[in-house]
Structure formats: structure tokens, C-alpha cells
Structure 1
Amino acid sequence: MEQFETEEQQVEAIKKFWQENGNYIISGLVVGFAGFIGFNYYQDTKLAQEEAVASEYTALLESKDTDNEAFKTDADKFIQANSESSYASLTAFSLAKDAVEREDYEKAVAFLNTAIEKAPTDAIKAIAVIRLARVQIQLGEFDTALATVGQPLPEGFKASAEEIKGDAYLKQGKKELARNAYQAAIDADGLATNPTLQVKIDDLAQATNLTQ
């Protein structure tokens, strides 16, 4: 599906950030408990747990290319065992991407809903919401997709949300609404990350002229 690679880069950037800075962030949070008894034990335990989860997550992703079926089974177990970890959401992303590649959109919807539920930040949640709406369009669930991207999202995702609205409206034959949505995406600096937006609005304008 289009733009999955762009969003995958966003997820990879977030994943890299956690790998490089996760321990420092956790350490900073732990410092707030310095006045409590057992601080050192708590700190060591939390850091060890996070490192173990990170290692397990890395090994899980590496197994995807060697044994895809085992990866899917192990990934589901990983999410259940680490439901409070940021890696639960990232693992759900990986399962959703795998499902989309196999055009199993129903499963992709389920995994993306898990990614939304387990998302540790608004940005990760927004990426999952955008992907979910695209999958819903693949399923022909246009009104559902519109409702999905109609919820409040961080400002940086406005262009993607408006483009999806345009795609959904176009599938419904609502060309004027589609044009307005595509233009809103362009106005939100959508061309910076997705030049095909201009192609979409140009094609729509041409099609409208031909029918007049």
C-alpha cells in the first residue's frame, strides 16, 4: 500500500530512539523515586527488564525473514507478555505490515487496533490511525475510514489525514469533497512528503473537465 514505506521510516526512527535513549529515559523516571526505600534495587530491576524486552524484540524481528509463521506466533505472544511496553505497539505494527503484504486486511485491522491501544505516545498512535484508515479503504469501508481520521490527531499528521479523506471521498464518487480534501492536504505541506498529492488533484481536475 502507498506510503507504508514512509510511515515505516517513522516507526523505525521511533524504534531507534528507544534503543538509543530508552535506558536514559527510564533512568530519569526512576530518579523520581529516589526518596523511596529500595531505590537501587528498583532501578536495577527496571533497567534489566527493559534491556531484556529490547533484546527479545530485536530477536523477534530478526526471525521474521527466516520463519515467518513462527514470527507471527511469537509476536502475538510477545505482545501479550509485554502489553505495557512500548515494544508491544511496535510489534503490532510489524504484524500489521506482514498482513498487508499478504493482503490479509482483516488481520491488519486487528493488529493496527492493537498498535493504537498499546501506543506509548500520541505520535505512534497517530501513525497507527493513519495506517488503519488506509486499510479500511482497501476493505471498502469508506465511511469508517473517514471516521477513523476524523478523530483528533497531532498537527503533523493533518496532511496524511486529509489525503485519506480525499481517497475515501473519491471512492464514493464525491469528487468535490475529494478535491477539497486533497487541497487541504497540500495546504498542510503534504507535498513535502508525498508529491503524488499533486498528481491526484490534477487527475481529479482533468476527470471533472472531461465530464463537463
Structure 2
Amino acid sequence: MEIYSTEEQQVDAIKQFWKDYGTSIVIGAVVGLGGLYGWNYYSDVKIAKAEQASQAFQGLITQSADDAAMLAGVAEFTKNHDQQGYAALLDLIVAKTAVETKDYAKAEAALKKVIAAKPGAGLDMIANLRLARIQTEQGQIDTALATLELVTDKAFAAQREELKGDFLVRKGELDKAKAAYQSALDNGGVITSPALKIKLDNLNQA
């Protein structure tokens, strides 16, 4: 099922950010606390844990082409580390792997973990977009439309509205679909989805 496009590029960017700066962010926050409260021992422990999580995460990413090793590694990572940003990225990878094997239940469970964790950096928004697509693939279009309403970050407005248009076309609600596509265009959607204008033009000619 083709459900990854712009979101995949966004995940890759976030993934690279965490690989490059994740440890530094955690260390900086902890060192700040250490300087303020004198929690030197606590800081040392947290820094060590952040470094270990970063190394484990990077090791898992190199295994991403091996589905079995990846899934086993994610379970081990979740057990041993409590770094939300890394865990959310890994859950997105688990969901993608599950979709490729049509294990939609596993994909939904992984995406709902990301949404519930609210890791920030747009990851929960991406998870909602992907969850909506999976729900639609299973014929749950109304549920998918409700899921899209949870995508409230303006940075994802164009993607949300284009998906909404796609789903409404499936329902046969063409006037509402036109409005959704137009909203996507108004939010700059044609930049990341050149096919958007074609979708709207086709409906206008119908």
C-alpha cells in the first residue's frame, strides 16, 4: 500500500536530527539541571543513559533493512531505554514494516503508541496521518476522517486536507472533496504534492 511520501521525508529529517543532536539535547538539559541543583550524580547517570540510547538507536537504524532484526531490536530498545524521541521514530519504522506485510493491526498499535506518547517534533502528527491512511485502506473512512481532525499542526495542514479530499472522493462526496483539495492548495500543498492540482482539476471537470 502506498502510504508514505512527504511524511517519510519528514521522518527521515527528524531521524537525522535525533541522530545528530539527540544526545546533546538530553545532555544539555541534564547538565543545566545539574548546574542549578547540584545533582551531579543524577546528571552523570542521565548523560550515560542518553549516550547509550543514542548508540543503540543508531545501531538499530543500520538494521532497518532486516525486518526481523529490526523488530527484535525495537523491543529490546524499548525495554532498556526511556528516550521518547528515539522510541517514537522506531515505532514509526515498526508501523511501516507492518504495513508492508499487511499486518495492519500491528501497524495501528505502533502508531497509536506514538500518538499517545506525544513525543513532539511533529512525530505524533505524522503518526495520525499514517493511521488515517491505514484505516481508510481497511474501509474505515469515517474513522479515518475523524483521525485527521487530530492533525492540528499547521505545518501538516496541506497533507491533512489532501488526504481528506482523497477519502471524501472514496465516499463519493465530491463537493466536500473539492473544498478539501482547495484548502490543501491554499496551504501550499502543491509544493510537496504536484498531483494535488490535477486531482482538483479532475473533480472540477467531472
Q: TM-score, normalised by structure 1?
A: 0.87
Say which is worse superposed, 178-187 or 101-110, in terms of deviation: 101-110
Aligned to 2:59: 59
Contact 2:94 2:107 in 1 (8 A): yes
Go from structure 1 to structure 2 and tell me whether the alpha carbon gap of 1:122 and 1:25 turns closer, same or farther (over 3 Å shift): closer
Computed over aligned residues only, the root mean square deviation of the Cα atoms, in angstroms, reads 1.9
Query: Partners of 2:112 and 2:94 in 1: how far apart?
Result: 11
Aligned to 2:35: 34
Report the count of equivalent residues: 205
Aligned to 1:99: 98
User: Deviations 1:168-207 (Å, cap 9, x if unpaired)?
Assistant: 111111111111111111111100111111121122223x
Go from structure 1 to structure 2 and tell me whether the alpha carbon gap of 1:82 and 1:134 turns closer, same or farther (over 3 Å shift): same
The list of structure 1 runs, each at least 4 consecutive aligned residues, that deviate by more than 6 angstroms after superposition, is: none
Say which is worse superposed, 23-32 or 75-84, in terms of deviation: 75-84
- Provide the secondary structure at the position in 2 that maps to 1:63: coil
Pairwise CA distance, 1:27: 3.0
Q: How does 1:147-186 map to 2 (within 5 A)?
A: 147-151=146-150, 153-186=152-185
Aligned to 2:15: 15
Q: How does 1:74-89 map to 2 (within 5 A)?
A: 74-89=73-88
2:4 is equivalent to residue 4 of structure 1: yes
Query: Partners of 2:81 and 2:35 in 1: how far apart?
Result: 26
Go from structure 1 to structure 2 and tell me whether the alpha carbon gap of 1:150 and 1:95 turns closer, same or farther (over 3 Å shift): same
Query: Partners of 1:119 and 1:59 in 2: how far apart?
Result: 24
Pairwise CA distance, 1:122: 5.1
Aligned to 1:192: 191
Say which is worse superposed, 93-102 or 110-119, in terms of deviation: 110-119
Q: TM-score, normalised by structure 2?
A: 0.90
Pairwise CA distance, 1:115: 1.8
Go from structure 1 to structure 2 and tell me whether the alpha carbon gap of 1:7 and 1:198 turns closer, same or farther (over 3 Å shift): same
Aligned to 2:138: 139
Pairwise CA distance, 1:161: 0.8
Contact 1:89 1:115 in 2 (8 A): yes
- Aligned identity (percent) is 38
Pairwise CA distance, 1:152: 5.0
Query: Partners of 2:12 and 2:99 in 1: how far apart?
Result: 18
Contact 1:96 1:111 in 2 (8 A): yes
- One-letter amino acid of the counterpart of residue 6, structure 1: T
Q: Which structure ranks higher in relative contact order (CA pairs < 8 Å, sequence separation ≥ 6)?
A: 2
- One-letter amino acid of the counterpart of residue 121, structure 1: G
Query: Partners of 2:76 and 2:174 in 1: how far apart?
Result: 44
Say which is worse superposed, 80-89 or 146-155, in terms of deviation: 80-89
